[in-house]
Amino acid sequence: MKTLKTQVAIIGGGPSGLLLGQLLHKYGIDNVILERVTGDYVLGRIRAGILEQGFADLVREAGVEQRMETEGHVHEGVLFSVNGKETRVDLKKLTGGDEVVCYGQVEITQDLMEARQAANLPTYYEASNVQPHDVKSDAPYVTFTQGGEEYRLECDYIAGCDGFHGVSRQTIPADVRQEFERVYPFGWLGLLADVPPCSEELIYAKHERGFALASQRSPTRSRYYIQVPLTDKVEDWSDEAFWEELKLRLPPDVAANMQTGPSIEKSIAPLRSFVCEPMQYGNLFLVGDAAHIVPPTGAKGLNLAAGDVATLLKVLRRVYEQGDKECINQYSEIALRRVWNAERFSWWMTSMLHEFGDEGNDSAMDPQMRDRFMTSEVNYFLSSENGRRVIAEQYVGLPYEDLA
């Protein structure tokens, strides 16, 4: 067994782990990342692409903003379509200047990976049997195997950035953990194509045939989604069938001018809301998907991970710069306040914009009556400036909370 030492052991080399590692390095806090798969595999995951104002600022603080600034697209507004009627939510005007940046998660992950490599920071890819130990003690450690070698990584703190299926959340005893989950009765069929986006800004479409979303990755690459039943398989959907259904759900003028083309990626993702409380146990901190999952309707998945990183960075900087070890006990409470706010917003957007059929939130209610409630709710929020401001504030992201 080979013994290694660091200050912060990071389990998981996805966006959460990489962003945390880069920021800790900036402030002179040593860290090691243990990642189960290869770097190429991590980059192969197609994910979302909307960065809140706060996330973009964190990327700048980490010093990896170059490509985001040149290739990312600042969006000052977002469009909603309710059965073909469009309303624009002016994010910049309604929030006093905040915007979102449209820049793929894969790109941000690549930028962080390259920065870590350039700084020659220790990252163990294809690490297996990763297991946190003694997380309640002052000398926690993580064991893992890599390249046929057994390792013991001694550290002060462990950041569980290992996603929904990781080992970190399971390290919190079942009788200490409280998990909350809502699985939605539909999925999102997503398609990526090298065609120009159909709209300058994103379009969230509520339609009686089902939800649709028009997003983008660049001036020549588009990302689209349509709500599909959970029973659908991706092979049930030809590219032609996808484009035809998408056009039926988007505003007619947008559909009429839409450029279509062959998919370069097509997949169905389930939708769930999930939260684990607490988000820490002794010197183990859960970050990102390890602690929570949101339906993508609010574009919060990646942004919530960034919010956790921002809070954990404040905690660890105070520990190492001021010697205040007590402040670690603030992490879970602060992180969960932001998590539950974004979970509610994502659930609300999902509830308003999707067709639930017989499986709406209130099963005692006639589905058509529920749909009229939801249509009335979304039309109310879109028709009033105060309503649009509520959506805008949540969409660009509330300010990060400071430590007490």
Distance CA 202, CA 25 (A): 35
Q: Is the dihedral of CA 193, 199, 204, 210 positive or negative?
A: negative
Helix (H, G, I), strand (E, B) or coil at 30: coil
Q: Which of 21, 77, 295, 301 is the binder for ligand APR (CB under 6 A)?
A: 301
The reply to whether 297 sits near ligand PHB by the rule CB under 6 A is yes
397 scored as a contact of ligand PHB (CB under 6 A): no
Is residue 397 close enough to count as binding ligand APR by CB under 6 A?
Answer: no
CA-wise closest residue to 306 among 400, 216, 169: 400
59 binds ligand APR, rule: CB under 6 A: no
Decide if residue 42 touches ligand APR (CB under 6 A).
yes
Q: Toward ligand PHB, which CB reaches closer, 163 or 295? A: 295
Q: How far is Cα 23 from Cα 26, in angstroms, rounded to an integer?
A: 5
Give me the DSSP letters along 272-296.
EEEEEE-SEETTEEE-GGGTEE--G
Cβ contact 257:130 at 8 Å: no
Binding residues for ligand PHB, rule CB under 6 A, total: 10
112 binds ligand APR, rule: CB under 6 A: no
Query: What does residue 258 show for φ and ψ, rounded to 5 degrees?
Result: -70, 135
Partner whose binding site includes residue 16, from ligand PHB, ligand APR, none (CB under 5 to 8 Å by kind): ligand APR
Which of 34, 33, 32 is CA-nearest to residue 5?
A: 32
207 is catalytic: no
Residue 395 known to be catalytic:
yes
Examine the residue annotation and report whether 296 is marked as an active-site residue of this protein.
Answer: yes
Among 23, 32, 34, 112, binds ligand APR (CB under 6 A): 34
Dist. CA 57–CA 334, nearest whole Å: 19
Which residues inside 158-217 make contact with ligand APR, applying CB under 6 A? 161-163, 165-167
Which 40-79 positions form the footprint of ligand PHB (CB under 6 A)? Answer: 48-50
Considering 206, 292, 300, 354, which one is annotated as catalytic?
Answer: 300
Dihedral (CA of 6, 27, 71, 57) sign = positive
In the list ligand APR, ligand PHB, none, the entry touching 106 (Cβ below 5 to 8 angstroms by class) is none
Q: Tell me how far, at minimum, the Cβ of 124 lies from ligand APR, in Å.
A: 9
The count of C-alpha atoms lying within 13 angstroms of the C-alpha of 162, restricted to the half-sphere facing its C-beta, is 27
The site partner of 228 among ligand PHB, ligand APR, none (C-beta below 5 to 8 Å per kind) is none
Question: Which of 15, 39, 296, 397 touches ligand PHB by CB under 6 A?
Answer: 296
CB of 350 to ligand APR, least distance (A): 14
* DSSP assignment string, 85-128: EEEEE-HHHHTTS--EEE--HHHHHHHHHHHHHHTT--EETT-E
User: Judged by CB, which is closer to ligand PHB: 192, or 290?
Assistant: 192
Size of the site for ligand APR (CB under 6 A): 28
Catalytic, 151? Answer no
- Cα(99)–Cα(91) distance, rounded to whole angstroms? 6
What is the three-class DSSP state of 140?
Answer: coil
Output the furthest CA–CA distance in the chain (Å, rounded).
65
CA–CA separation, 362 and 371 (whole Å):
11
141 is known as an active-site residue: no
- Is residue 391 a contact point for ligand PHB (CB under 6 A)? no
Scanning 63-71, 232-240, 275-283, 294-302 for contacts with ligand PHB by CB under 6 A, the matching segment is: 294-302
Encoded one letter per residue, x for contact with ligand APR by CB under 6 A and - for no contact, window 124-163 reads ---x--x------------------------------xxx
| Binding-site string for ligand PHB from residue 240 to residue 269, where x marks contact by CB under 6 A and - marks none | ------------------------------
Whether omega for the bond prior to residue 278 falls within 30 degrees of 0, making it cis, is: yes
3-state secondary structure of 237: coil
Rounded least distance, CB 225 to ligand PHB, Å: 7
Helix (H) or strand (E) holding 60: helix 53-62
Where along the sequence are the contacts to ligand APR (CB under 6 A)? Answer: 11-17, 34-37, 42, 47-48, 105, 127, 130, 161-163, 165-167, 288-289, 301-302, 305
Where along the sequence are the contacts to ligand PHB (CB under 6 A)? Answer: 48-50, 202, 213, 215, 223, 296-297, 299
- Please list the active-site residues: 75, 204, 296, 300, 395
